[in-house]
Each structure stands twice: as C-alpha cells, then as structure tokens.
Amino acid sequence: MRPVASIKHKLAVLLFSLFALSGAASAQTLKDVFSNSTTSVLYLGIDFTKFKVIDEPNANASDIRDRQYAGINDLVINEAKKYDIKSALHRDNLEHDISMARERNSKANTESIVSTNSADFHRFKDSDVEGIVKSFSFGGKKGIGLLFVAEAMSKSDKAIAIWVTFIDMGSKKVLMTERLEGKLAGFGFRNYVGGGIKSVIDQIEKKKYKEWKEKYEH
C-alpha cells in the first residue's frame, strides 16, 4: 500500500497541473481580440487621474474632479450609440465596468489639474501609462480590459490626448497602448471633452482598428 503522504502529493501535483492548463486555455491575447470578434473585452472607462486642462482660464479644478470626470464617463456609457466603442472594435458584445475608474478619478489631486504649460499636452510616455495601470484595482477581474487613459486637453489647440490601452487585468500588464488625439467639440465642459472622446473613437473605427488588426492578429 502506498503511503498516504505520497498519494496526497501526487494528487496535489495533478490538481495544480489541471489548474495551470485551465488558466492557459482561458488566457486571452491581443491576437484573440483582433482575430475573433467574440473574444471578451471589458471596457473600463476613462482614467483622468493624471489629466491636465491646459489654457482654460475659467477652469474650476474641484468641479472638474467632483462632477465632470464622472459625467464624461457616464456620457460614454449612456449614449453608447454615439460613443460606439463596440462597433469601433468590431465586437459582437462589449461589457463595461467604469466603477473602478470613477473611484480613482474622484481622488485626483485638484492642484495638478489646471495648467498653463503647453508642454503638458505631450508629457506622457508608455511608462506613465504602465504606472497608471499598475496602480489600478481590477477587483480580481481576469481577461482583457480596455482603458482610455486621458493625458491632457488643450483649449488653445482644441484637442485632447487619449492613450487607448489594452490590459491583461489578471497581471496588470499593458498589452498595447497608443496615443490618439481627438478634436474637442460641443458646449459645456462635459460635452466639449466628450466631443474629443468621440473623435478618438471615430479614429479607431475608421483607421486604427484595421492597423491594429493587421499588426496583432497573426
């Protein structure tokens, strides 16, 4: 008869192997996203934690943090036909959970929001986006997430800079991030920034998705 300890050890090894195989089978990559329209992607909203509002003399930093950030995120969700990320990414379905971005945005430092330095519009590098993702809490979620990281808006240039970022939520690894600029349009801060977000989404649909697909589907 085999010792009980030996049997338990072998059973533990077997279970570990099964879990490892299961994890490998369920892991998703950019190739899965761009080669299969049914691959699950979770839209995580817009992260404004390091956002700069440049050359806007009437900007109210407290109002921007406490009201506008949430309003812009809600706008994208509530007017999904206008801000059609699902179609832009050729998804059969696109789930969303913006609660984590909303919570982070509510704690942004108001003293660092307003800027009169035009160089702030181009200050991010890939490593800055990676740092934001590392500090994100995904609440135990796995799979691929899509996060819009807002770098800055310039009233002088009527433009907004957004880093479109695909993430492996389990490991907090950035799978892809690319900086896109959108044209600001609309009345009121929420709609003005929202117009810029729509411009970015339109670019993804008209041009960027095709480029990404050609790059990552093989």
What is the tens place of the pLDDT at every residue in 94-134?
Answer: 999 999 999 999 999 999 999 999 999 999 999 999 999 99
Distance of CA 166 to the CA centre of its chain: 6
Give me the number of domains the chain comprises: 1
Residue 18 included in any domain: no
Tell me which residue range forms the domain holding 200: 28-216
**Model pTM score:** 0.87
Using the structure block, give the residue that is written with the tokens 């500090």.
Answer: 135
C-alpha dihedral (192, 175, 77, 200), degrees to nearest 10: 30
Q: Report how far apart, in Å, the C-alpha atoms of 207 and of each of 67, 75, 203, 212 are.
A: 32, 24, 6, 9
Residue 85 included in any domain: yes
Q: pLDDT tens digit string along 57-67?
A: 899 999 999 99
Residue 182 included in any domain: yes
Residue 5 included in any domain: no
